Amino acid sequence: MIDEPLNLYKKGVNLGGWFSHLLPNTQINSHLSNFIKKKDLEDLAKAGFDHVRLPIDWQILSESTLPMLEKAVSLISSHNLKIQLNLHYSPGLEHQGPQIIESKLFHSESIQDQFFEIWKNLLSRLENIPGLAYEPINEPWCEKNQTFNQFQHHIVKTFRNFTKSPLILSSNHFASVHSFSSLEPVSDQNVFYAFHFYSPLSFTHQKANWIHGVDVSETVDYPGQVQKPIQNPIGKKELGNWDMTRLESELKSALDFRNKYQVNIICNEFGVYEKAPLQSRVNWLKDTLSIFKKHHIPYTYWNYKECGFSYIESKQIQALFTEM
């Protein structure tokens, strides 16, 4: 493990909704110019955040929006915030709908060519901006772990033709914290292995209308009992009592992977949907942040603004990040 990446990140936040998650009929140029302002970045820096994750949906990239992206990344960098640039939706890696569908990206050479061409174009524009790291894919789903691991090696080999900057590689099964037992490390030290943390889903995503195939309609408190047999992405049921001890046990696979291979891990999404009871949201976040601090896990909260998980819309949630 090399020292520089280990100390690269501590406390960050996602800027989802800026270059991603745009609603139909959005006036794109106006939205991109106004969603995040200089004061937002000043406030984040003052609050002790050292990095942001910038999700991008590939569909909005064009000759008119690419200069706006370059301007946005430069603005973030000018506030001494490091940037994790994430292709949130990419060709062949869409998983919306009632069923889990194998991502075409892992099996189609033509889609992979398109995917790497997008990244090559982004790198040619952004590589000279200080503080950048690249997260090539978001929440992948691949049935065969061997196929997934092979593609991760392919990503690193291809990216290293264009950049020496840090790379952030997702775990499989929607970036599940439980998928590290099947993850294979790459032969590159300047890498973080990322997971998303939303356990238990029936609490963190209660009443979320984009969750399909499971019932998240009931109000669930934290700490408290989960009554419905919802399964996480690798089939583990989330029944029973949830408290800080159980949350901490969820991280075992990721911590074992870090210790075994002496590599860097990061949680680059976690949070609780706004329809959960506010005090329970605060309780869960406080416990999760305490666990991350105990185990020296850098983190990136989802999300700064809007998208149902807003940091700026709750003074209690803002205070948690100041205290921790």
| pLDDT score of 2 | 39
pTM: 0.95
What are the two backbone dihedrals, phi and then psi, of residue 37, each rounded to the nearest 5 degrees? -110, 170
The whole-number pLDDT of residue 252 equals 97
pLDDT for residue 3: 39
237 forms bridges with which residues in the sheet?
Answer: 231
Which domain does 34 fall in, by range? 3-323
- So what's the pLDDT on residue 323? 85
Task: Tell which residue, 67, 71, 191, 168, has the closest CA to residue 121.
Answer: 67
pLDDT tens digits, one per residue of 170-204: 999 999 999 999 999 999 999 999 999 999 999 99
pLDDT value of position 98? 46
Task: Spell out, as residue ranges, where the chain has pLDDT lower than 70.
Answer: 1-6, 94-101, 229, 231-236
The pLDDT, as a whole number, for residue 9 is: 96
3 state SS of 123? helix
Q: Are 29 and 64 in contact (CB under 8 A)?
A: yes
Provide the pLDDT for residue 302.
Answer: 98
- Which of 159, 139, 132 is CA-nearest to residue 51? 132
Write out the DSSP string of 20-81. Answer: SSPPTT--HHHHHHHSS-HHHHHHHHHTT--EEEEEEEGGG-STTTHHHHHHHHHHHHHTT-
Q: What percentage of the chain reaches a pLDDT higher than 70?
A: 94
Q: How far is CA 111 from CA 101, 158, 173, in A?
A: 16, 15, 20
Q: Which of 76, 63, 190 is nearest to 129 (CA)?
A: 76
How many domains, in total, are found in the chain? Answer: 1
Q: What is the pLDDT of residue 160?
A: 97
Domain at 225, CATH number? 3.20.20.80
Supply the pLDDT for residue 231.
Answer: 64
What is the pLDDT at residue 150?
98
